[in-house]
Chain A
Amino acid sequence: MASESAKLYWKRNLRILLILLLIWFAVSYGCGILLADTLNQFRIGGFPLGFWFAQQGSIYVFVVLIFTYVYLMNRLDREFDVHEQ
């Protein structure tokens, strides 16, 4: 694989990581800890929202994040022709 294309592949990989990790940080440390008090003024069903993020929502988002990552990376691997046969 040409090194130009390897560099670009790595750059695109890092961009995907950065975006997903920002979401990771926002739902757990953001909504679940730092903003929990503020969000608790809102409710979904019987849950105060900040509490829901801390004990339910962040975990759901984590699962979705990993599957999104797998999807994006598999697509990127094929685009750069570095996927495994």
Chain B
Amino acid sequence: MGVQSWTFVIVGATFLLYIVVAIWARAGSTQEFYIAGGGVSPLANGMATAADWMSAASYLSMAGLIAFMGYGGSQYLMGWTGGYVLLALLLAPYLRKFGKFTVPDFIGERYYSRQARLVAVICALFVSFTYVVGQMKGVGVAFARFLEVPFSTGIFIGIGIVFFYAVVGGMKGITYTQVAQYCVLIFAFTVPAIFISLQMVGHPIPQIGMGGTMQDGTYLLDKLNQISVDLGFEKYTEAGMNNRINVFFITAALMFGTAGLPHVIVRFFTVPKVKDARISAGYALFFIAILYTTAPAVAAFARTNLIQTVDNQPYAEMPTWFKKWETAELILFDDKNSDGRIQYVADASINELRIDRDIMVLANPEIADLPAWVIALVVAGGLAAALSTAAGLLLVIATSISHDLMKKYLKPEISERNELIAARVAIAVAVVAAGLAGINPPGFVAEVVALAFGLAASSFFPAIILGIFDRRMNREGAVSGMIIGILFTATYIWYFKPQLGGPGTPEGYWFGISPEGIGTLGMLINAAISLVVSRLTPHPPAEVQAIVEDIRIPRGAANAKAH
């Protein structure tokens, strides 16, 4: 059986699995629709959070980015895992004790203000929508390449699937589907990694194999450094950061952004107890870490393999994967010196090969010559990653509209039954809108996603943290902080992102901070403004101060309720 038949079979089987799970776990009430009834076990919640969290960017793009950036790719590894420590220690237990449905619920009640809730809703919609567009693009890429359908058709298939199980299942359906998707994606990511690790260094655990020795007795990483330097690239493992501040800021933006993403935070409302909220953050990070520690190994293997396969080899003798990706225009070869061989070097004037970084994970099993079913499995895993994240985000978008906007703002008298209908309509509209936007997104997948983190870090993170840890924080402080934080960050991103039509150039970066890292500065500005404004305006009311006291003590966490 060829790669394509295998892909149809495996992708088809996993899709069937998701649909069966979604029907089995469909939601019957708003409580089930928004937070899965609050009865998910911490272990299942950990897996669902991990799948929700690990997006098309983590799965498809990250190892590729690291393969081409070497040490520089570490910012994504640390940034996208370190945020869970903040979540577990600073947010999850307190928000669980607070016991409502959404992040705007918390903001609205803690800051006793409908305006604050509205600002939070708008921020949540903005952040989630930016993020979901990147997922849709990931779905389109995977379908387009492996089912050989047009990119937009791929996106429409993805829309159809998410539409079905998100609309039917709500949070409950999504949570249990995500558990299934986690199993698919982690299996699909680690199996090829183990194969390749065995092939290259003879060790079955990629995390250790990465530090192992190759057949000629040299360490893999030393070899990789050597061949990189020979071709004029930087040493793979060298922290050759010309801009340490920028690395620092990007890592921080990703960490604090993780802890401020509404679709991640809402997961901790789905467990029964405060204690469960703490431990499920631990499980989530454990499950995420399996992929995040494998990815750098995959990156190092892929990079070594790639260079050895192509460098200075005759173009005519390239394997079939090379030709296939060439057809997709994701590998470009231009024989500048007409010697019929591929010169792959750092110097742009001699270099003859251009490789799209996003293809590394998908191409890796082919480069390593693994069996066809492994390649098909990788595709199914990529789709699982993109679909699970998209579903979680779409739920946040739908909840923001039906619960935060309609129920809490426009039409408080709405019945539970109508609210549920509104939620389903909202999610349906959101799925379609996200798909359409996904057909024409800015930048490549990881870049789009990285921007959403800056926006989350600069809007929610300070408002939530200060709401828990600073009793004196009031409405005026939090609202002005959120508005200025997100406006500052969004403006800077627009200004310095040519894909978004901004006029700025990298020479103009403040302190050398790129748009991906600016959320950290936005967050600091947000916090500073909140603190100053709150000290100049009245204390929050006594009952709000009592809420702050109450969420600090675990005992007495009620089920999250529609209030």
**A interface list, Cβ under 8 A from B:** 1, 6, 9-10, 13, 17, 20-21, 24, 28-29, 32-34, 36-37, 40, 44-48, 50-52, 54-56, 58-60, 62-63, 65-67, 69-70, 73-74, 77, 82-85
Contact = CB atoms under 8 A, between A and B. Distances in A.
17 contacts: A6-B553, A9-B553, A20-B89, A24-B82, A28-B255, A33-B74, A36-B239, A37-B239, A46-B211, A46-B222, A48-B221, A50-B239, A51-B239, A58-B81, A59-B293, A69-B89, A74-B275
B347 interface: no
A77 B553 CA distance: 9
Contact of B78 (A6, A59, A63, A66): A59
Interface residues of B, number: 55
B213 interface: yes
A21 B255 CA distance: 13
Interface of B: 66, 71, 73-74, 77-78, 81-82, 84-86, 88-90, 93, 207-208, 210-213, 219-222, 237-239, 241, 244, 247-248, 251-252, 255, 273-275, 278-279, 281-282, 285-286, 289, 292-293, 296, 549, 552-557
A2 B448 CA distance: 50
A52 B555 contact: no
B251 A29 contact: yes
A81 B553 CA distance: 10
Given A32-B78, A46-B220, A83-B275, A65 B85 contact: yes
Nearest to A85: B555
A62 B77 contact: no
Smallest CB-CB A-B distances: 7 pairs:
A46-B219, A54-B74, A46-B211, A36-B239, A66-B282, A55-B296, A45-B211
Contacts of A33: 74, 78, 239, 241, 244, 247-248, 251
Contact of B554 (A29, A58, A65, A84): A84
- Name A's interface SS: helix
Contact of B289 (A34, A47, A62, A73): A62
A1 to B, nearest CB: 7
B555 A60 contact: no
A63 to B, nearest CB: 5
Contacts of A40: 237-239
B289 A59 contact: yes
Given A40-B238, A56-B293, A84-B554, A46 B81 contact: no
A20 B85 contact: yes
Given A36-B71, A63-B285, A73-B278, A29 B77 contact: no
A22 to B, nearest CB: 12
A32 B74 contact: yes
Given A21-B89, A45-B212, A84 B84 contact: no
Contacts of A58: 77-78, 81-82
A83 B554 contact: yes
A66 B553 CA distance: 19
B47 to A, nearest CB: 15
Contacts of B286: 63
Contacts of A21: 85, 89
B553 A1 contact: yes
A29 B244 CA distance: 10
A70 B77 contact: no
Given A60-B289, A62-B289, 14 more contacts: A6-B552, A9-B552, A17-B89, A28-B78, A29-B252, A33-B247, A46-B210, A51-B71, A54-B78, A63-B285, A66-B85, A69-B278, A70-B88, A84-B275
Contact of B212 (A9, A46, A52, A77): A46
Contact of A47 (B210, B248, B274, B556): B210
A62 B289 CA distance: 9
Nearest to B223: A46
Contacts of A69: 88-89, 278, 282
Contacts of B244: 33-34
Contact of B296 (A48, A56, A63): A56
B42 to A, nearest CB: 10
Nearest to A66: B282
A54 B279 CA distance: 25
Nearest to B42: A70
B282 A70 contact: yes
A63 B89 contact: no
Contacts of B251: 28-29, 33
A34 B247 CA distance: 10
A62 B555 contact: no
Given A33-B244, A37-B239, A47-B211, A55 B553 contact: no
A54 B275 contact: no
Contacts of A13: 552
Contacts of B553: 1, 6, 9, 82
Contacts of A74: 275, 278
Nearest to A1: B553
Contact of A83 (B211, B238, B552, B555): B555
Given A24-B82, A36-B71, A82-B554, A63 B211 contact: no
Contacts of A1: 553
A6 B549 contact: yes
A32 to B, nearest CB: 6
A45 to B, nearest CB: 4
A8 B25 CA distance: 43
A70 B279 contact: yes
Nearest to A28: B78
> Which of B292, B549, B554 has most A Cβ within 10 Å?
B554
A20 B421 CA distance: 44
A48 B207 CA distance: 14
Given A24-B85, A62-B81, A84 B279 contact: no
A50 B74 CA distance: 11
> Which of A9, A17, A52, A66 has most B Cβ within 10 Å?
A66
A45 B82 CA distance: 25
